[in-house]
Structure 1
Amino acid sequence: MLKKISKALIPILVFSNLLVGCSFIDNAKTKMGLKNNDFEYIKNENVDQIIIQSTRDTGFRFVVTDKRTIQDMYSLLSSSKEAKEKTDLEPDYIFEMHMGDEVKKFNYVVGVNSKDKGNFYDDKKIYSVSSRLDNDIIQNLSFVRKPREFASIYFGSILKVLNEKKDYLNEGNKKVGIDMLSDVECTKYMLSTDIEDFKKNASKIVNNIGVIKGDKDKYDIIITVSNQGYTSKTFKTSISIENKIDHSYMPYYVTGNYDLNSWEISLVTKKPSDW
């Protein structure tokens, strides 16, 4: 009888030791700053669903209920480090953690690699979260796949037009505004870090240039970007230059073809027959 009881106790003791071991490891990670305990409510399966909403396209929204995916998010968030201040960039996504009637909301900026500034935050705390949250989870959830190397083709098309007309755009130090945030077909794929990189590259070509954010009136020249469709290997966008001073208008039609792991961009001023 004693032998039977002893055999029955073995798996219980082993399981108990495993729990103690896991708890010890978690505590050690917490003390070393490798783990934070602020997201334990996700691990404890108190979260019914996580809603991920694009800040630039209200229609680009994911509702996550799969327990495995939620636990993957917990692993990434619990390994985040607390930061003293948040990034200056605008958030790309809003995360909503739903626990019955209670909802916790966080802003998330993709691709911020700074030890000092956090990219996942609410009104109480700021965290520095790995870009794997975007690469491993958000991109896998996307039912609409963005074009390959989206930033390269989208912003590269605009930069090609700026290079083509740089002498004209720099005449008289006119204020040049790029209207791309109203390009609704593509705003869901724009990330704040990519927009910031684009602004830096654009300013190397045109001296007095900015991205329009509801302030179109302050610019003398408006460059409007409007996507005309894309596949995994082709990309079409129309880019127009409107001078509000002399009332001139110049349209450009840009085509991108993906080949040999890069985009080849070409532009014409006459509308192609297949547009």
Structure 2
Amino acid sequence: MKHRRLLGFFLISIMIFSMITFTGCQSIGDSVSKVKVKLGFKNKDFEYIRQGKISKIVIQSTRDNGFRFVVTDANVINEIYDMLSTGKPAKSKSSLRPDYTFQLYKNDKKVYAVFNYVAGIDKKSGGNFYSGNKSYIVSNRIDSDIIKNFWEIDGTRTLVDFDQVYYKMALNAINKYITYSKNSNIGVEIDNDVEAAKFISSTDLEDFKKELPSGVSVIESTEDDSNKDVTLNLNTEGYDQKVYKCVATFYNKKTMEQKKYYMIGKYNKDYWNISVQENKPSDF
């Protein structure tokens, strides 16, 4: 990969020099752009953004209707253009559920295009930014430079390493319940935890699925749980930068028995200490 980047840089340098030499009136910026397109480092499908045809971009979470922000600043729109124009065209779209939609507006009312976005780069190599038959693998800079900036502005949504506490809590509760009930035919109804929805991403959820014990599976809102003996609902009770509180409720559909576990995660020295208890703690 490193050699490929060095080779690409070398080729770009040579081609830019040649283009500037033979077309002296052409700007260096245009020369660089054309070379990148020619070498496959850039696509031209989002030129309409660079041309100023997009005045507003609305980014909406697919899991949390309350997490929606509007981009109207020309500089930020240009940043998004830079990220999208360097996206690599993909033959197919990601099989994962999209985390966000990007609505590109020509003006306040007219939508120019709508794209689905899977946060992070899909490890299965499908396009993580797509619309219709067009798919692209875009850099996770959209997560780190754009979306997370808005997370920081909205202080109610900040949390240290959500995936390190939430999924570990769930796994601990699942293992404890299996030991208690001797039944592992469990469906985790992940979409029912409204407070956690804002933090969940499809790529993290896929990693969580791989850690689940045999017989346990994640049931998303569009899926059927009728073949599961037991359902697990997680309910986030509260959180901040250092503490996460959640209740795990198992319901056996055959015996109609309900079993609850109270879970607390406390962050200390780069690590989440997690406790799972049957009785509600005094500090819960």
Structure 2 match to 1:145: 157
Cα distance in 2 for residues equivalent to 1:17 and 1:65: 36
Cα distance in 2 for residues equivalent to 1:18 and 1:199: 56
The one of 38, 43, 66 equivalent to 1:36 is 43
Cα separation, partners in 2 of 1:271 and 1:102, compared to 1, 3 Å = closer
The one of 98, 105, 130 equivalent to 1:91 is 98
Question: Could you tell me whether the CA contact under 8 Å between 2:103 and 2:111 is conserved in 1?
Answer: no
Aligned to 1:236, the other structure's residue is in SS state strand
The one of 158, 174, 189 equivalent to 2:199 is 189
Cα distance in 2 for residues equivalent to 1:98 and 1:37: 19
Structure 1 match to 2:179: 167
Percent identity of paired positions between Structure 1 and Structure 2: 38
Cα separation, partners in 2 of 1:25 and 1:264, compared to 1, 3 Å = same
Cα distance in 1 for residues equivalent to 2:100 and 2:62: 5
Deviation at 1:223, TM superposition (A): 1.1
Structure 2 match to 1:127: 136
Q: Which runs of 5+ in 2 are unaligned?
A: 1-22
1:22 matched to 2:29: yes
Deviation at 1:86, TM superposition (A): 1.1
Deviation at 1:212, TM superposition (A): 2.1
Deviation at 1:186, TM superposition (A): 1.0
Give the paired residue count.
Answer: 255
Q: How does 1:39-58 map to 2 (within 5 A)?
A: 39-58=46-65
Cα distance in 2 for residues equivalent to 1:103 and 1:168: 55
Deviation at 1:273, TM superposition (A): 2.7
90-99 or 176-185, which deviates more? 176-185
1:249 matched to 2:261: no
Cα distance in 2 for residues equivalent to 1:19 and 1:269: 72
Q: Which runs of 5+ in 1 are unaligned?
A: 1-15
| RMSD, aligned CA | 1.8
Cα distance in 2 for residues equivalent to 1:39 and 1:60: 25
Q: Which amino acid aligns with 1:248?
A: E
Q: How does 1:254-273 map to 2 (within 5 A)?
A: 254-273=263-282
Task: State which structure, 1 or 2, has the greater radius of gyration over its C-alpha atoms.
Answer: 1
Deviation at 1:103, TM superposition (A): 2.3
Q: How does 1:46-85 map to 2 (within 5 A)?
A: 46-85=53-92
Cα separation, partners in 2 of 1:241 and 1:26, compared to 1, 3 Å = same
Question: Could you tell me whether the CA contact under 8 Å between 2:264 and 2:274 is conserved in 1?
Answer: yes
Cα distance in 2 for residues equivalent to 1:44 and 1:170: 62
The one of 242, 258, 263 equivalent to 1:233 is 242
Deviation at 1:231, TM superposition (A): 0.6
Question: Could you tell me whether the CA contact under 8 Å between 2:56 and 2:72 is conserved in 1?
Answer: yes
Cα separation, partners in 2 of 1:115 and 1:89, compared to 1, 3 Å = closer
Normalised by the size of structure 1, how large is the TM-score?
0.87
